[in-house]
Amino acid sequence: MAKRERRLFRAYDEMHTSRAAVVRVSDEGALRRALRGMAAHPRRRLTVRGGGYSLDAQALGDDTVLELAPEGFGGVREVAVARGRATVTAGAMATWAEVLDATAREGWVPPNTVTGRDITVGGTLSSDCLSRFSGAWGKEAESIERFRIMLADGSVVCARADAPAGSLERRVFDGAIGGLGGLGVVLDATYSLRRVSTPGRRPRVRTYFDPVGWHGFGWEAFLEQLRYETLHARRAVQALGAKAWRAPLPPGIYDAVSATVWFRDMGPRGMIISSRHVTGGKLQRSPLYSGPTPTRLFAERSMSCEIGADVGQTSFKTLHTLKRWSVDALEPFVFFMEGNVAAHQREQARGRRMTSSQQTFVLPVAQAAGFCAEVEAATDSMHPTVLDVLYLPADRGGRALSPTRDLAGFAVTLAYQSLDGARQPAVRRLLRSLSLRCGALGGRVSLVKNVHVGDRALRAMYADGLVEYRALKAELDPAGLFTNGLLDRLLGDG
Ligand SMILES: Cc1cc2nc3c(=O)[nH]c(=O)nc-3n(C[C@H](O)[C@H](O)[C@H](O)COP(=O)(O)OP(=O)(O)OC[C@H]3O[C@@H](n4cnc5c(N)ncnc54)[C@H](O)[C@@H]3O)c2cc1C
């Protein structure tokens, strides 16, 4: 048999890599033929790859990587408006920048959008991504109406949120959202949209920066304020019901709520950041939401060493405590991580790697303050580049691999950035030991960013969901065709 050429793939963290053969298909017929062809080789393993923005091994495999050509699987297919409600249907390889561009020009947006432009619909659906809006609007799953997915045998299922419980369509809906590409290949998806500005006017975003506890920081009070403000927004959205989707929210409701903490020698400092869409308004840009400007590129590079991160965080956040609010254009607000992406690309062009570890720990409410105090002590000699916190309600559906399955709590993300892997071994050790504490406190490490957790501890965190996921996989993909480096760890029997 001819030797297959293998290509090197890298995760966004620039630490995880794999070599694999590549199958590229440009339409559904070719995809079906490729899947059936692989069925003849029972030991073949296929890893679906979208935009390749995963931080860990979610889109890495060492046998064959499946690439869907954007010409056949991308693009926004339709923005449909009926009886005041709107939906968007997009191919799996459509980028979120394309989706936002097609919807925002008429004043509609998806409730949840990730922070990188070229991340794809298939990739985020398979990861059930979250955003600053998830506290009020839920994670991505809550805005997905339906999607089509091709299974290992080449058949296509139209999975729907409103399919009867127990039906194949519903089980695939619950399993493949956040299912990390282990059940089949998502072809396209339809999302509900919400109106955020007057028809025909591109929305802007108003953000309020609220420094908390500058005269004595306490984790308990800080987290409670974050939870209170998130629930305030969530209750307002729920009380409005269908109206919350059809018209901009009433003034004063900030429905994107997140928090950030930075540790300096004087002790931790915190800030709660709340945003809402607005129609018009004079731009008063925040440097954070200004795109990949030279200042941002300089800041990203400086933040790759600890002192630079300390100085950068302190000055940046002090600026925002003085300025207090901004009004930004929609795209640079939504895709604010583009500054980081551009910095990665610039280092690559110089032959260097901007390596990072970003890990999200989801903690039950009662345990979160204690966990954060442990994080503070453990990072005393190694300050993170960024520490962000969200409050997330428990999932509405029963998604098997979700960190918020039956768990409302705080999602604490620790990020470390460096050049060429400096600090990364020590960071990995730190994140692994914090993961053990997170598991012992009844929490889970999210599977969407880095997953520096021992395999046994990881499986224990997802034990209930894994029983369901394995059963569905045995039914839909009995030969175990679809896999990747992270699923191998989750499903392995080691
Ligand atoms: C700059 C940046 C910003 C980010 N912002 C956020 C954020 O705001 N919120 C958040 O939650 N995460 C965020 N992430 C993480 C990122 O959104 C997820 O890792 C996302 O899954 C990446 O999607 P992708 O298109 O790059 O797909 P990939 O990384 O290629 O794949 C992701 C997973 O989806 C599967 N997959 C991809 N396409 C398909 C398909 N068509 N059918 C079946 N399975 C498929 C893959 O097998 C893999 O398991 C960010 C990452 C970066 C680098």
pLDDT at 494: 39
Residue 292 belongs to a domain: yes
Q: Is 324 a residue whose pLDDT tops 80? A: yes
Confidence of residue 493 (pLDDT cuts 50, 70, 90): low
Q: Is 269 inside a domain boundary? A: yes
Rounded to the nearest whole angstrom, what is the distance from the C-alpha of residue 481 to the centroid of ligand 1?
20
Is 39's pLDDT higher than 50? yes
How far apart are the C-alpha atoms of 256 and 40, rounded to whole Å?
49
Reported pTM: 0.97
Task: With a cut of 70, say whether residue 1 has pLDDT above it.
Answer: no
Top mutation candidate among 12, 58, 476 for ligand 1, by most atoms within 8 Å of CB: 58
Locate the ligand 1 atom nearest the alpha carbon of residue 140 and give its number.
11
Looking at the predicted structure, is the pLDDT value of residue 289 above 70? yes
Please state, rounded to an integer, the average pLDDT across all residues of the chain: 94
Establish if 53 belongs to a structural domain. Answer: no
Q: What is the pLDDT of residue 3?
A: 63
Q: What is the pLDDT of residue 108?
A: 96
Instruction: Assess if residue 241 is contained within a domain.
Output: yes
Ligand 1 test: best mutation among 24, 62, 118, 119, most atoms within 8 Å of CB?
119
Query: Which CATH number is 395's domain given?
Result: 3.30.70.2520
53-62, 112-121, 308-317: segment of lowest average pLDDT: 308-317
Does residue 286 sit within a domain?
yes
Mean pLDDT of 126-150: 97
pLDDT at 2: 53
Give the torsion through C-alpha atoms of 415, 421, 426, 429, to 10 deg. 70
Whether 464 maps to a domain, the answer reads no
Range of the domain at 219: 203-455
Mean pLDDT (whole number) for 342-363 = 96
153, 39 contact by CB (below 8 A): yes
Whether residue 225 is contained in a domain is answered as: yes
pLDDT above 90 (res 269): no
First to last CA, the chain: 32
Domain count, the chain: 1
Q: Which residues of 58-96 are buried (b: 16+ CB within 10 A; e: fewer)?
A: bbbbbbbbbbbebebbbbbeebeeeeeebbbbbbbbbbb
- Inter-residue contact 369 to 223 (CB < 8 Å): yes
pLDDT band at 166 (very low <50, low <70, confident <90, very high): very high
Contact assessment for residue 146 and residue 131, using Cβ atoms and an 8 Å cutoff: no
Cα(480) to ligand 1 centroid in Å equals 21
Asked, for residue 311, whether it belongs to a domain, the answer is yes
Residue 301 is encoded by which pair of tokens? 């590079």
Site residues for ligand 1, CB cut-off 6 Å: 12, 47-54, 58-59, 68, 92, 114-116, 119-120, 122-124, 126-127, 129-131, 180-181, 185-186, 337, 340-341, 448, 484
